[in-house]
Structure 1
Amino acid sequence: MACSIYKSFRKLKKRGLAREERPYFKKHVIMLDDHLFSLDLERWEVSIATEHGRIRVKLLHGTYHEKFKDMKAGEAWIVRKKDEFYLNVCFSKNVELMEQNNKAIAVDINENNVAYGSTEGIENFKTKERAIRTAYFLKRRRIQLRLGSRGENLMKKYKERERKRIEDIYHKLADKIVEKARKEGATTIILERLTNIRKRIKYSKVMNGRLHRWSFRRLQRIIEYKAELMGLNVVYVNARGTSTLCPICGVKLSPNGHRVLRCPSCGLEEDRDVIAVRNLLLKLRDVGASSVHPEGPIREGMKFYVRPERIIGSN
């Protein structure tokens, strides 16, 4: 791990992106390969190999999920945070994806809301991500202006709070999308290919900050792994024109009020997010996109709390 951090630091320094003069560890971490530890989730114990033989450690405050029963434990990390120790474990599982049928769920991701659905119905989920991220950004900026470098720890605390709050929203939303696909018998989830979206759009300084705080790719990754864990196919299609073209006749739409678009040719009038979802469903049929199979098994993490004295011993 030290070599990996040092190599990463050298690359950043050559590009002029290193903030420090030398690399350093942010956390105290011990990495464990799968042959250095074994988990017993029934007894809530972990066996860890040391130079003096194996020791058995009782796990505390862990959350046991039934889905981990048929998964294989891979590598793990013992992480020290202040005076507490955590065992972060990576589980893996081989999943066979379903054969694609003509039913799919399309997902249109926006900065403040996400629309998803199929030909049977479209739903709109208000994430309020823009407001949350802006509020935390302004709070950190006030701390920086008032305290300077003395407020670094306080800024980190609010940054972590922001991350956890957004991650919770993302996971709840991903669960809703996967559940809708299962209820409707869909075998495919369609996502937008948003590569280089920040480079393609010409925006002001304020918009620049907003777009760089928006973690749309993180949401897509969560939806992707939750879908594949259930055997659903994930397809990425080109997002160009999905919010500006009519899904019926293909004519460019005109604004007709707040977030409402109207087709001058056929008279269609709908919310722009609903139109985007309908266009994404059409693109899957038109381009005949193939599903994105996971590279290797699906992985998921799990965190356990362990007794510190059993890890650090007399030292």
Structure 2
Amino acid sequence: MQTGRVRVPLAVTAKQEAILARLGRDVKQGATKLYEKRGRWYLALSVTLSAEEKAAKSARDKIAGIDMGLRYLAVVNAGGETLFFPGDQAASVRRRYHALRRRMGKAKAIKAIRQMKDKEARWMKDQDHKISRAIVDWCLARGVGIIRMEKLEGIRRRKTRKRDFGRSLHSWSFYRFQQFIAYKARLVGIRVEWVNPKDTSRTCPRCGHCASENRSGIRFRCRKCGFRGHADAVSAWNVSFAISGLAEAA
């Protein structure tokens, strides 16, 4: 039996290799964890990089708006083109975790419940990273120079028809999600602005008519000009227009 220190080769991507080469200089090493999954061993290494913002390119003249909520985690609109990230899959996963914790609670499995909560938190953070990356890449490919997001307040108080669906996303960290989008955007030279979300869901992006009757669930129909669209796409479009003014710029 071999004892002592064992050296094993580490398989990394070109991007990961470049980061590892900078350890100790402008890259700071964080926590490290070695774990096994399906017969293969992985090393999870957290690092901190300096996030220097690139200068925005003048060729990027489009503005994208992002609407966030419970039915859709994010809806992005850039010049009328829309990208949806439905929340149903995330809600399903959250419900499954919740059901498992309830069963563990009945069995008094306190340690297992704690581990399950940690696993769910890691999954949520990973989803935020993946979706925020997809959003920034989508915007970058369309020549977006500014991303505007709602200055969120009380997003969890929004009503949904399916009570269980809303509850399963109730504790989603929309603030962290926005921060992930913001720092990834700045790294590629996209400016981030925060807007007042007032009236974005009930204002027509074509004629500007504002009325609560314009929206019914996920359907939007302007009572003045007849414009129709997906309500969340309309809201994201209005966020890009900053119809109620900027809250702050960063």
Question: TM tier, shorter chain?
Answer: 0.7 to 0.9
- Residue 121 of structure 2 corresponds to residue 163 of structure 1: yes
Q: How does 1:287-306 map to 2 (within 5 A)?
A: 287=245, 291-292=249-250
Using structure 1 for the length normalisation, give the TM-score: 0.60
Residue 237 of structure 1 corresponds to 195
- Residue 85 of structure 2 corresponds to residue 125 of structure 1: yes
Using structure 2 for the length normalisation, give the TM-score: 0.74
Partner residue of 1:224 out of 182, 203, 215: 182
Residue 100 of structure 2 corresponds to 139
Residue 89 of structure 1 corresponds to 47
Do 2:221 and 2:227's aligned partners in 1 also have CA atoms closer than 8 Å?
Answer: yes
State the shift of 1:57 in Å. Answer: 10
Partner residue of 1:193 out of 151, 160, 181: 151
Distance 1:60 1:232, change over 3 A: farther
Secondary structure of the corresponding residue to residue 175 of structure 2: helix
- Residue 214 of structure 2 corresponds to residue 260 of structure 1: no
> Which runs of 5 or more residues in structure 1 are unaligned?
1-55, 293-315
State the shift of 1:89 in Å. Answer: 3.0
- Percent identical residues: 24
Number of corresponding residues: 229
Distance 1:126 1:252, change over 3 A: same
RMSD: 3.6
Deviations 1:175-234 (A, max 9, x none): 221112211111111111113545x7699x979955642221121122112112212111
State the shift of 1:65 in Å. Answer: 5.1
- Residue 134 of structure 2 corresponds to residue 176 of structure 1: yes
Counterpart CA distance in 2 for 1:251 and 1:245 is 4
Matched residue type, 2:245 = V
Counterpart CA distance in 1 for 2:198 and 2:6 is 53
Do 1:133 and 1:213's aligned partners in 2 also have CA atoms closer than 8 Å?
Answer: no
Between structure 1 and structure 2, the one with the greater Rg is: 1
